Structure 1
Amino acid sequence: MPKVAYSEAERQRIRTALISVGLELMAKQGIQHTTVEQIYQAVGISRTFFYSFFPTKEDLVVETLYLQQPRILAYIRTLLSDPTLSWRQAVEQFLYACCYGEKHGIAILTVEDQQRLFRRLSKESYRLFREKQFRLFHDILECLGIRADAAKVHLFTNLSLTVMVIRRAIPDSLPLLVPEAADETVAFQIHAIVDCLESMKQM
């Protein structure tokens, strides 16, 4: 007979498991290619029970991105503290890991993912998402030794997300770009971003 009553502690454990499993699958497969069914089956609950935690897939996506934010900060701090890496090497390695997130356990939003989130999230959820996004990029800049005023955070956010989005968009979402030059394009953009960050660091 199926269990119909769960304690608050059990519900919290299941919710945490859904977010953790969701992040793992989304980082590996991409957000768009990860289904709600894959997530709730991996956790061992029903579809109906899943939706008692998250009204939409997008609500879960947001929670997985929140979960990975402290991991991203820990990763950049680890790279910066590595005595075998220069500051520039550490930043480049960090940006490469984000662009090729499926190899490093990092979930990245594609153009389609961003559009879907924008359409599905409530105004309050969207506002909170933007606040947390700002805080993440602010904290990354601070880790890099850059005084993170709003203008720098906004520029760094756009530059970083642009290269990540373009890398994921070739060739499916941007079919007129040349897939054979995708990796070289990413390398060029990362190099330019690090040049920009170095100039910020000297301000």
Structure 2
Amino acid sequence: MSKKAYTEQEREQVGRDLLSVGLEMLSQRGLKNTRLQDILQAVGISKPFFYGNYYTSLAELVIHIIDYEMALLLQAAKDDAARQDISLEEKINHLIQMAVHSRQHHFFVMTQEEELWVHKHLSPEDFDIYQQGQVQ
């Protein structure tokens, strides 16, 4: 059961938890087998609190999870690039392995079917924003 009142810090933590828990579930189950209710239950918030304070839909949350994931992947690549104890080939191989074995590394790679689902569930404006983020 969710709380009735949250401090600003708790709200920020819930926002981070939505992204990290959502990423974990999506990477392990895929979009088809991840329900919004599963994420909310794991985070410990209600649907009204979610809709009133964070996102308008599961699709919008998924887009934010992908943005969060991209930041994690970029940081992993930067961390590898900074390492002096491995070769450039090993650095590139590690990044490729993370992408190829995304579930093992807790990253979510959408299938074409999942991309279509996201497209269907986002407003045209939100989908344009999503596509611009992917280009960046």
Structure with larger Rg: 1
How much identity, in percent, do the aligned residues show? 26
In structure 1, the partner of 2:117 is 116
1:26 aligns with 2:21: no
Contact residue 59 and residue 118 of structure 2 kept, 8 A: yes
Shift in CA distance, 73/44, structure 1 to aligned 2, threshold 3 Å: same
User: Are 1:31 and 1:108, in contact at CA under 8 Å, matched by a contact in 2?
Assistant: no
Does the 8 Å CA contact 1:30/1:102 hold for their aligned counterparts? no
Alpha-carbon separation, structure 2, partners of 1:95 and 1:22: 23
Single out whichever of 4-13 and 32-41 deviates more from structure 2. 4-13
Aligned partners of 2:84, 2:107: CA distance in 1, in Å? 24
Following superposition, the deviation at residue 37 of structure 1 comes to: 1.5
Q: Please, what TM-score do these two structures have when normalized by structure 2?
A: 0.82
The within-5 A match list for 1:1-203 is: 3-6=3-6, 8-52=8-52, 53-135=54-136
Distance, in Å, in 2 between the alignment partners of 1:28 and 1:89 is 26
Per-residue displacement from partner, 1:73-94 (whole Å, max 9, x unpaired)? Answer: 1111222333343323322221
Question: How large is the RMSD of aligned CA atoms in angstroms?
Answer: 2.2
Q: Bigger relative contact order, structure 1 or 2, given CA contacts below 8 A and separation 6+?
A: 2
Structure 2 residue runs of 5 or longer lacking an equivalent are: none
Shift of 1:13: 3.2
CA distance in 2, matches of 1:122, 1:31: 18
Question: Aligned residues, how many?
Answer: 134
